Amino acid sequence: MVYQIRIKGHLGRQLADWFEGLAITLEDNGETLLTCPVVDQAALYGVLRKVRDVGMPLLSVVCVKPDQASASDVNERINIVQKNGGEKMKTTNKITEMKDRKVILSTLWIFALFNYVYADILTLYFNPVLQKEATKQLLSGHVGSLQITQGFVLLGAVLLETAIAMVLLSRVLKYRANRWANIIVGVLQTASVAWSLTGPLYWNLFYAFFAAIEIACTLFIVWYAWTWRQPEEGGALTSGQSSV
């Protein structure tokens, strides 16, 4: 026996999960048609109890002939459902991949910052012994040919803050802004670390070690963001489409 149950309103995807195995058609008049083959009255009552539990008004229950709701028609609707479900699954996977990539980028910036901090701590601690002349030059107010001024230190603070901000921004920015922010800041940080290796203040093996790790990390961030492809947006069900 095949029954067609008509209810008022459209079933959402979550509610549709309650009616697994049934063909569900969302009609243009705002109603939902459930087509269900049942083996006996007990199975029919089970479906009706589910309709009651979702709280949607029941409009009609009609027993139809097989030629009115043929197996091929039901199968066709199920195929549409499976197609929509597959598209939804792909969209869900894309969204999950986007969230994972945001977390990875944020973690990479944390890793880079730890290297920045410890490289600077060791430089300040050991340079008075390892780089005496450079330390004297620093204390006199110069870094190489550059004079240390309020503006110079502020510029360094702003540059460092861009890396700190990316820990948060990598998680909260939307795709396009997120991708380009990581690329731009990654390039800036790579260039600044590479430039720091040209000054006498940082001619230390330990600093070169940290710098190599920092440059590798920020270059990877640039590559990882550059190869980030925008996830496809999934569409909602429209009238006349079927779902389960």
Residues 47 and 132 in one domain: no
pTM value surpassing 0.75: no
**What are the E-state strand segments in the chain?**
2-8, 23-26, 31-37, 58-64, 142-143, 146-147, 242-243
> Each residue of 123-162: pLDDT tens digit?
777 666 666 666 666 666 666 666 777 887 798 899 999 9
Instruction: Output the DSSP codes for 84-112.
Output: HHHHHHHHHHHHHHHHHHHHHHHHHHHHH
Split into its structural domains, the chain has a count of: 2
Among candidates 227, 151, 154, which has minimal Cα distance to 186?
A: 227
Asked if 203 and 131 touch (Cβ cutoff 8 Å), the reply is yes
Asked if 94 and 231 touch (Cβ cutoff 8 Å), the reply is yes
> Each residue of 56-109: pLDDT tens digit?
888 888 887 665 554 445 455 544 444 554 454 454 455 566 678 899 999 999
Residue 82 lies in a domain: no
User: Cα–Cα distance between 120 and 210 in angstroms, integer?
Assistant: 10
Say whether pLDDT at 242 is over 80: no
**What domain range is 214 assigned to?**
93-226
Domain boundary among 54, 69, 84: 69
Task: Please report the pLDDT score of residue 241 as a whole number.
Answer: 41
| DSSP code for 131 | -
Least confident of 37-41, 86-90, 149-153, 211-215: 86-90
Residues 97 and 171 in one domain: yes
